[in-house]
Structure 1
């Protein structure tokens, strides 16, 4: 059982050098940027009810959607200079930013409509909103908790969603100059947002670890929990475990993350990295292989779709980042952040890293907190065919 992250409830987690910083590399490079100053942390103990039924999940989901939508609407009033200062950027790509905002509004509106289906008077957070414009108006009026029982949650959610929005807007403001998971380039790419309501896919990057390490421990936990995951492995790491790869990943899905953990946006050998690693996975894992590729840091070239199509691969991104790679984010905080984001987006691909031990600790807590909520963990063999 995870402990409540109350120490994180009133403050956000400082960013530390990790995946985003490594993706950024040198600030002098035009295709790089330093990571965000803060990472959003949530305190789920502030929510006053269990999430042990579909209606209970929907009530909490409507609340998270309204809290995030309010921050999104307020951000639209900021001029470029204010927004650059807030995000810590010297320049922003305004068209990309507006495109992502538009996608967010459409997805939030669809999620809110789905969450309204279980509303019955006098349930909370049940004001109707038929489209994005109506949801924006509703969010702007969401200035306080509707009842005293939700006051602690409202204060925590306002902090969480302000910082989480900045994480997303920062990626959007840099795209496509710095590619990332924030947007797709073509139909050959998927990020999990296409999954149907209440459906989630587990994914794990950067393994495998040496025998007996975090990958082995995580796989034992997944089997105990009767969960599946898609493991995006590095070719050079898999090569060291080729003899036991099929046994190690039995019952799971395995795909390529490249030969080495380098940004494919600026690596001349990226095509070789893709083909070599995919061929090795298919050879060593056998039936567990799935024809997906996840670019390190989510970085890839805008015109790479034709290559992946010719290789018979789909680019598999994500839309829910656990931040488990970040040394300043505890396993407790990983679980609580994920639960808030699952309530917010209502479906998607969750990003973990099996080279770290936090997923193994967070997942049992997450399943316990959502038992009875009507969620579906997607069969990895059916992704992305399971969309819709």
Structure 2
């Protein structure tokens, strides 16, 4: 195991289920983001399309008319993310990845670029997966801003979505996310994949999604990725389109600071 993997493995071994308040503020990495590096998603899409003419695959979906479901993945990128991306690519399915800043740095941009090339959406899942409601104002600000800065530096994309670790939020978190321009995306289908490392159980829970559902999963778990072929097959057979959070809400995008659990 690589040296950086030890603390990260300890940090994420329980996924988003176990609350572990931490009061300290990590030392920031030396990250500098120039305004010219931050581009709107539509601009990035044109650049990526020029690099790969068939990106994004298939037409964009109007979820006012189609049966849409948003598959979301937290805590990565990790060791199983690349295999998940291959599965989604073969299906032409899009998803939203709520990334942890430290994991992004450890990943060295590899999976993030693949996510963007395949039309997936990125969201902020904090710097080190702390319970945001337990932090000082400075610590809370750091957790969001540092992850924003790292992703912007690496990809040129400014994230407009976030998911609070453990789903733990309050008025202070709402205020800070509003200042940072981030909507709070929660979920209405919980697979409990962090607790039950069983591909069959994860699949059974995920396929209960209905139109407009937001499904919570974690791409750091092998069993979750093992469950994906069945999830994609069953929901496809039922006529669902796999969309990003922004596609799910369409012309009425999630507002900064507000909480969303489904469309």
1:88-237 correspondence to structure 2 within 5 Å: 198-209=67-78, 213-237=79-103
Partner Cα separation in structure 2 for residue 350 and residue 312 of structure 1: 23
Say yes or no: does 1:281 pair with 2:151. Answer: yes
Distance 1:236 1:282, change over 3 A: same
4+ residue runs of structure 1 moved beyond 4 angstroms? none
Residue 338 of structure 1 corresponds to 206
User: Given that residues 19 and 325 in structure 1 are in contact (C-alpha distance below 8 angstroms), is that contact kept between their aligned partners in structure 2?
Assistant: yes
Report the 3-state secondary structure (helix = DSSP H, G, I; strand = E; otherwise coil) of the residue aligned with 1:22.
coil
Distance 2:248 2:237 in 1: 23
Are residues 313 and 220 of structure 1, via their aligned partners in 2, closer, same or farther at CA, if it must alter by over 3 Å? same
TM-score by length of 2: 0.66
Matching residue within 227, 232, 239 for 1:374: 239
Structure 2 counterpart of 1:116: none
* 2:18 counterpart (15, 22, 26): 22
Residue 306 (structure 1) shift: 2.7
Distance change >3 Å, CA 384–CA 272, structure 1 → 2:
farther
Partner SS state of residue 262, structure 1:
coil
The answer to whether residue 157 in structure 2 is matched with residue 291 in structure 1 is no
Give the structure with the larger helix fraction: 1
DSSP-derived class of the 2:134 partner: coil
Q: What CA distance in whole angstroms lies between the structure 1 residues aligned with 2:113 and 2:221?
A: 21
Once superposed, what is the RMSD of the aligned Cα atoms?
2.6
- Write the distance in 1 (CA, Å) between the matches of 2:16 and 2:126: 17
Where 1:290 maps in the other structure, the secondary structure is coil
**Structure 2: gaps of 5 or more residues:** 1-12, 22-62, 253-262
Higher relative contact order (CA 8 A, sep 6+): 2
Structure 1 stretches of 5 or more lacking a match? Answer: 1-16, 26-194
CA offsets 1:215-234 (integer angstroms, 9 cap, x no match): 11111111112111111111
Tell me how far apart the structure 2 counterparts of residues 255 and 334 of structure 1 sit (CA, whole Å): 22
Corresponding position: 1:325 with 2:194: yes
Quote the Cα distance in structure 2 between the aligned partners of 1:258 and 1:267: 12
SS in 2 for 1:248: helix
Does the C-alpha gap of structure 1 residues 383 and 337 become closer, same or farther in structure 2, counting only changes over 3 Å? closer
SS of alignment partner, residue 88 of structure 2: helix
Indicate if the aligned counterparts of 2:140 and 2:173 stay in contact, CA closer than 8 A.
no
Q: 1: CA distance between counterparts of 2:187 and 2:251?
A: 15
CA distance, structure 1, for counterparts of residue 16 and residue 113 of structure 2: 32
Q: Count the aligned residue pairs.
A: 196
Cα distance in structure 2, aligned partners of 1:380 and 1:286: 19
1:53 alignment partner in structure 2: none
Which protein has the larger Cα radius of gyration, Structure 1 or Structure 2?
1
Distance in 2 separating the partners of 1:282 and 1:331: 34
The answer on whether the counterparts of 1:378 and 1:386 sit within 8 Å (CA) in structure 2 is no
Contact 1:254 1:285 in 2 (8 A): no
How far apart are residue 24 of structure 1 and its match? Answer: 6.6
- Measure, in 1, the Cα distance between the counterparts of 2:134 and 2:99: 20
